[in-house]
Structure 1
Amino acid sequence: MQQTANMLQVLIDHSDAAMISWNSLGFDKRAVILQRWAKQLPMNISVMVNYQCINALEYVANTELMPGPTGETNALYCSGRGVFIVTAQQGAPAAAIVGQLTAALVCGNSVLLCINDDHYATQISTELEQLGCLSGVITVVNIAHLDALVNSPQIAGVAYCGDLQTAQQLARQLAQREGLLAQLVSELDGEALPVIGAQRYCLRFVTERTRTINITAVGGNATLLELGSG
């Protein structure tokens, strides 16, 4: 039991560290890697990958400049939230899993991919790493360890596609644990995908940050401050 817990902690720590480098690439570079992957996927899956990338570039990729009253420059931008679990009920369509994964990745998060089909999950991870996705950004974890992952205080969010009962259970787990307030992004309709298919779905995978550059400091020294909400 303790050995398993230690193993999962190592995976989470590795994913957390990989997220920092992945997030620093920026939306454009991440989208290029994902869209390159889309070219080798079946049409219906390829469309979902491109759709999530296009929406992220339109709705969350741009930086908003806000001049301050005392001369400082404030830049409002979006960043990944951290480590996301991407999971789904057995039998969930590949388009749903890939849609969740793409939205999380393009927004700068690292992903613990925890689905019933380990072979498919490993295939996704291998393909993306071969196309430029950084090592550790996608970590495949067996579905048997889902509860332990959700209970980890380092997890920033869970993207789930499946039934209402499991979604409610995940929500209760996230609410009862210690640490960060984690986001549950649930899709309950595996056929129509109204949540994953929404244009602003990507907003669920980002946090807003503000970068302030003070150009009025005494002696001309610039002070760089960065604030974020997680």
Structure 2
Amino acid sequence: MQQTANSLQVLIDNSAVAMRGWNRISFDDRAAILQRWAKQLPMNLGIMVNFQCTNALQYVADTELMPGPTGETNALYCSGRGVFIISVQQGITKEAIVGQLTAALVCGNSVLLCIDDEHYAQQVKQELEQLGCSADVITVVKITQLNGLVNHPQTAGVAYCGDLQTTQHLARQLAQRQGLLAQLVSELDSETLAVIGAQRYCLRFITERTRTINITAVGGNATLLALGSG
């Protein structure tokens, strides 16, 4: 039991380190890697990859500048949430896996890919690493490790496509665990992929941050000080 816990910790630690480097890359550069991958895929999967990349570039890639009252510059931008678990019910179409994976990656997260078809998971990992994804941005894990990963306090979220019963079980697990408040991104309609196919699906995989740069002298904005001096 202790050995299993230690191995999960190593997986998550390595994934978290990879995420920080991957998240520093721009949205455009991450999308470019994924769009090159799309060209290698069957048409239906390539369309899904390009769809997720296009939406991320439209809705979350831009930085909004918000000048402050004392002269500082505040930049509102979107960042990945952390280490995301990607899983599906056995037999779910590859479009669901590719859609979840692309949305998580283009937004700057690292991924623990936890599906029954380990051969396909390893293939995806190899293809993306050859195109520019750094090592450990995608980690393939056994489906038997899913519960341990979901319960781990350092995982930032779970993207799952499958039945309602499993979705509810995952929601209870995330609600009861310690550590980070984790996001559950669920898709119950494996036929139409109504959630994964939504334009703003990528919003489930980001967090908003603000970067403040104080470019004024000590004491604040000189113009405001002059106006208040009488």
- What is the TM-score when the length of structure 1 is the normalising length? 0.94
Letter in 1 for 2:30: R
Task: Report the CA distance between 1:3 and its aligned residue.
Answer: 1.2
Deviations 1:73-100 (A, max 9, x none): 1100000000000000001100001000
- Cα offset, 1:27, TM superposition: 0.3
Question: Could you say which residue in structure 1 is the equivalent of 2:137?
Answer: 137
Q: Displacement of 1:8 after TM fit?
A: 1.1
Task: Show the counterpart of 1:182.
Answer: 182
Matching residue's letter, 1:125: K
In structure 1, the residue matched to 2:59 is: 59
Q: More strand by proportion, 1 or 2?
A: 1
Q: Offset of 1:218 from its aligned partner?
A: 1.4
Matches for 1:1-230 after TM superposition, within 5 Å: 1-218=1-218
**2:228 equivalent in structure 1:** none
State the 1:215 CA deviation: 1.4
Query: What is the CA–CA distance in structure 2 between the aligned matches of 1:164 and 1:83, rounded to whole Å?
Result: 23
Larger Rg: 2
For 2:172 and 2:154, how far apart are their aligned partners in 1? 17
Quick one: distance in 1 between partners of 2:124 and 2:60? 25
Which residue identity is paired with 1:128?
L
- Separation in 2 of the partners of 1:182 and 1:3? 25
Q: Match of 1:155, SS?
A: coil
- Separation in 2 of the partners of 1:215 and 1:78? 23
Q: Give the deviation of 1:219 after TM superposition.
A: 8.5
Distance 1:199 1:217 in 2: 44
Distance 1:80 1:186 in 2: 18
Cα distance in structure 1, aligned partners of 2:156 and 2:94: 23
C-alpha displacement of 1:216: 1.6
Q: TM-score, normalised by structure 2?
A: 0.94
Q: Which moved more, 1:143-152 or 1:3-12?
A: 3-12
Structure 2, unaligned runs of 5 or more: 221-230
Aligned length: 220
Q: Distance in 1 between matches of 2:140 and 2:94?
A: 16
CA RMSD of aligned residues (A): 1.0
Measured in 2, the distance between the counterparts of 1:32 and 1:181 equals 31
Q: Secondary structure at the match of 2:79?
A: strand
- Partner Cα separation in structure 1 for residue 191 and residue 45 of structure 2: 14
For structure 1, list consecutive stretches of 5 or more residues without a partner in the other structure.
221-230
CA–CA distance in 2 between the matches of 1:71 and 1:6?
49
